[in-house]
Amino acid sequence: MDLQVKDNKGKIVGTVAASDDVWRAESNDALLHQVVVAQQANKRRGTQDTQQRGDVSYSTRKIRPQKGTGQARQGSRRSPLLKGGGVAHGPHPRSYRQRLPKKMRRQALRIALSEKIRDESVTVLDALKLDAPKSSTIRDIVSAFELKGRTLIVTGSTDQNVVKSANNIPGVEVQSAALMNPLETTSVPNLIITQEALEAINSLWGADGGKE
């Protein structure tokens, strides 16, 4: 398939070939959802912790007689029923990590990119080179394309000038093509992909890219 290529002013300057394997993948909401949820789970630190009654620093002396007071039986100040006592069934450090096969992760990214194409949310930029960080250049590009909502700019390789230029612009993020993933792709309404990045994506995740 061919995609339109635009310059920094939003004017169409040509077309570029895009791999059908990457940009025309069949929809599979179940697979895409599973991979996105797994990525979200893998980002969780799992460091929440609470003290059980054995961890609380209190005396174990029985706080009142078992019988004769008319009050409920209480064994120790460490009881979860009392203020400052241990926490019953509270969270403890654990791993939320979910492992997914490489084929599933790769296919999920293809599906996410194809959905962006179907939603007409992908803009191909002819080139993006900055001699020095300049936020106004990135802001002008986003404005020229009349994009609303969060925007992810995908470059062929990591360019610190582009990254620093976008740091001060709310709702604009920059990522290299090799680091693209289903979670980032689906979490933003708009994609701006440089022509160099498009070629890298075709090479990495096309039918001939890498080993399945």
**pLDDT surpassing 60 at residue 105:** yes
The predicted structure's pLDDT at residue 212: 46
pTM comes to: 0.83
Work out the mean pLDDT of the chain and round it to a whole number: 92
Domain boundaries, the chain: 2-44+99-205, 47-95
Q: What is the mean pLDDT of residues 76-92?
A: 93
Is residue 15 within 8 A of residue 2, CB to CB? The reply is yes
Question: Which of 61-75, 130-144, 196-210 is least confident?
Answer: 196-210
> In the CATH hierarchy, which top-level class contains the domain 2-44+99-205?
alpha beta
Q: Give the residue from 145, 153, 144, 156 showing the smallest Cα distance to 120.
A: 145
Per-residue model confidence as pLDDT tens digits over 57-77: 988 899 999 999 999 999 899
The predicted structure's pLDDT at residue 1: 87
